[in-house]
Structure formats: structure tokens, C-alpha cells
Structure 1
Amino acid sequence: MADGTLWILVGNASRARLFATDAKAQGDWRLVEEFQHEESRAKAFELLNQPDNPNAGTLHGPPVENEPNGRKVVEHDRFARELSDYLDKGHDRRAFDKLVIAAPPEFLGRMRRLLSSRVKQRVLLDVDADYSNVPARDLPDRVPVL
């Protein structure tokens, strides 16, 4: 594994930032990656009116997007999966030793469900809070990493 590298994922259902720092010294946070998921910001009716709907239909009942806000749920899950996959790849590259996740409760729950067991073993802390609009320079004071 990376020598004492701590990754901190701060985000919500439409935006996330991933930072890295030395887990022991807890120095400056370096931005590793920024993620945007515009579909999660769209209004439900805009998503339903998309001509090319990649999630249309299932074999086991009505598609989730036919429910109120169903497409929003699909998009939130899609973004959580994208982040989870990125963390898996980071784990495979030995890019981090420990992980802290800060997200609003609903999205944090999605992330928890989608994280692989090997990434879950690296989770040091998860924080139920939306710090997605907090400037990067203020995050170390808001997100407790130890």
C-alpha cells in the first residue's frame, strides 16, 4: 500500500472531490480528482423526457424511472457506482491506505452499499454531512480525519 496515504472523499449525489494527505502528519490536502454528475442535478421531468434513456425497462416489473423521482434515484446510484469504482481502482493501484468519506446521509448510504469489501476495510471514518460546497482550504477544519 501507499506509505500512509489517506484519501478523503467529500461529496454528494452530483459532485465530489477526492483529496489525499499523509495519514500520519495530516498535512495539506492535495486534490486528486473532481467528479461531476450533471444528470443528478437535472429535474426529474427533464430526465424522464430524455429520448435516449439507457435505463428503460426491466424484466421484473415496472422500471424504477416510472416512479416519482425514479430517474433521480437511478442517477444517484450511477454516480455512487462511478465513485465506488474509482475507489476500487485506487485500492488496486495501492494509491491509499485509509479512506474517509463525507457525504449527506442518503448518498453516504448508497456509497456504503456499493463499496467493495476490500475498500470498506480501508474506511477509517464516514461523516454524515454535505461539505460539497465548502472551499477546499476550509475542509481540513470540518472533516475530522483522526
Structure 2
Amino acid sequence: MANGTLWILVGNASRARLFATDAKAEEDWRLVEEFHHDESRARQAELIEQADNPNAGTLHGPPAENEPNGRRELEHDRFARELSVFLDKAHDRRDFDKLVIAAPPGFLGRIRRLLSARVRQRVLLDVDSDYSNVPAKELPNRVPVI
């Protein structure tokens, strides 16, 4: 991508969209990628039925998946990790120069914790709002980028 590329990640714990524009946000937003994590939207009972994951929980105490909403929290963390890994790889390819992240407060905190230091340095702005269901053409009027 060209120098001066601004990426805008808009999402929540189950879906996210990544848009690109020029650093001055003068161009239209172009969809770069869509992400979906269906497990984050599943009911707790459905998640517990799928609990054959040996990596879930801890060695000290009950597995987090057996705690109230524990499996859902694990899935939210997994999705935040997936997004942060994607952003790390994109950073290494120099696909973007600046980043804006718009997500609900809880999920925004998860993403912040998982971003590498080099990606965090590119974050221009965090917006603690859920715009995941807002049509793409309306997002530039809702998400402040400059």
C-alpha cells in the first residue's frame, strides 16, 4: 500500500471490518478485510459442549470455560488475538502507517492488551463504541479519524 495509509478497524467480539484510506482520510474508505468469530456469538451451553480444548483454563483451579461466561471470555480473547496477529503481520509488510480502532470498551481493552508495541505506536486513536452494525458508507461520518 502507498505511504500514508490509514487503517480503521471497526468491530466487536464476534465480527470486525478493516478499512483503508489515505492518512488524511480524504479518500473513500476501502474494505480491506472482514473477520468473523462465530464462537463469540454462541450460547454458553453450546460453548461448553465444545469444551474439548486442552488449552482452555489454567493449571491452577477450575478451567475458565467452566466459570460463568468463562468460555465466552476465552473466545473473545481468541478473536482479539487473531486480530492483533493480523495487524502485526500487516505492520511487518508495511501495509499501513496509522491505525484507528473502534470497538466496545471491553473488547477494545482486549485488543489493546494484545497489540505488539510496534503496532501500538501506529495507533492514532481508539474509539470506544460499537459500530460493527453500521453500514460501511455511514462509518466515515461516525468514526473520527483525524
TM-score range, shorter chain: over 0.9
Cα RMSD, aligned residues only? 1.4
Aligned to 2:16: 16
With 17-26 and 57-66 compared, the bigger mean Cα shift is at 57-66
Question: Taking every aligned residue pair, what percent have the same amino acid on both sides?
Answer: 81
Aligned to 1:82: 82
Secondary structure of the corresponding residue to residue 62 of structure 1: coil
Residues 57 and 134 (structure 1 numbering): CA distance in 2 closer, same or farther, change over 3 Å? closer
Counterparts of 1:85-96 in structure 2, within 5 Å, are: 85-96=85-96
State the shift of 1:79 in Å: 0.1
Structure 2: segments with no counterpart, 5+ residues:
none
Tell me, in whole angstroms, the C-alpha distance in 2 between the residues paired with 1:85 and 1:94: 14
Aligned to 2:122: 122
Aligned to 2:145: 145
State the shift of 1:54 in Å: 4.5
Between Structure 1 and Structure 2, how many residues are aligned?
A: 146
Residues 51 and 123 (structure 1 numbering): CA distance in 2 closer, same or farther, change over 3 Å? closer
Q: Which runs of 4+ in 1 moved over 2 A?
A: 51-58
Structure 1: segments with no counterpart, 5+ residues:
none
TM-score (norm 1): 0.95
Tell me, in whole angstroms, the C-alpha distance in 1 between the residues paired with 2:51 and 2:128: 36
State the shift of 1:2 in Å: 4.3
